[in-house]
Structures are given as C-alpha cells and as structure tokens.
Amino acid sequence: MPKLELSGLIMQMKKETKINILRVFSLTLLFALITLGGLIYSSFKTETVLASNSSPVIEKSGYINYDGQQLKSINGRKVVLLFKANWCSSCTNLEQDILQNAQKIPSNLTILKIDYDKEFELRKLYKVNIQHTLVQIDNEGKAINITFAAPTLDKIIQDLK
C-alpha cells in the first residue's frame, strides 16, 4: 500500500506542476499583451504637445506639477522635465530630496513633474522609455540634455546646460 500512495502523490505533484507552469505562462502572456497594447495606443496618439503660437509663460521657479500648458512658452528659463511614476522608489527618493532642498533650486530653473504613466505624448516626443528620466529643454522645447536616474537635486543642477 505505501507504494500505491507514493505513486498517487507523484502523479498529483506532476499535475500541480503543469498547472503552475500554465499559470505562469498565462500571466506572462497577459503582461506582454498589456504592454504591447500600451505601446500601440501611445503610437497612435497624434496630438501636438508643443503649440507654436501660444502665450502662457513659465515664470515660476521651483518644482511644480505639469498641467499641459507650461511648455507653450518657456521665456528664457531653464526647464527640466522629470518623468516620475508614483510606483518608482528612486523617483520618490529624488522627489523627497527636491522637496527637502527646494531652497537650492536656482531662480531661473523650473523642474516640471511629469506623470510617467499618463503623459504618453510627452514620452513619445522626448523618446522617454523609462521612468526617472530627466529632460532639459531649450526655449523651443527641444531636448538639450537627457539624464537617467539622477539621485539628487544637486546632480540635476550640476548637469544643467
């Protein structure tokens, strides 16, 4: 009788292993499809992000949330776009450093906090593929410096062009 119980146990373990492999495969496939869907969705967006004949001007220095209007006229300021995701721990650490050292932000610098998970048009425009990307732009909105995973506000200021 012990041999019969052992072989039954082995058969049960084989069935469970097959089921677990199928679950992992299904989840991997689902993740791949969701990722692919997001890429396809963002590639079909054709909205122009930077308008050429607009008047709102960035006049505020510091660390501010992007609202979709600030890039229309930069007015000679240094502007850095911080593509940040709420689920990104290194992004959160950088944001905490920026907030704790906000007095160090030069008066001619604005850091715009961009929601990595929502601003697909900006990500496409500046070819941002990972969160915690910083893009310094010139007066025309063209990227002049791209940094990945800057650890501190001091590093952002040091890397300014």
pLDDT of res. 6: 64
Over 80: is that where the pLDDT of 35 sits?
no
Residues 33, 35: Cα–Cα separation, whole Å:
5
What would the pLDDT profile of 63-117 be if each residue is shown by its tens digit? 888 887 777 666 778 899 999 999 999 999 999 999 999 899 998 888 999 999 9
- Residue 82 near residue 51 (C-beta atoms within 8 A): no
Strands (E), the chain: 62-65, 78-84, 109-115, 133-137, 143-148
Domain ranges of the chain: 1-44, 62-158
Domain topology for 62-158: Glutaredoxin (3.40.30)
The whole-number pLDDT of residue 77 equals 80
Q: Return left, alpha or beta for 75; rule: phi > 0 is left, psi -120 to 50 is alpha, else beta.
A: left
Provide the pLDDT confidence category of residue 49 given band limits of 50, 70 and 90: very low
pLDDT at 51: 38
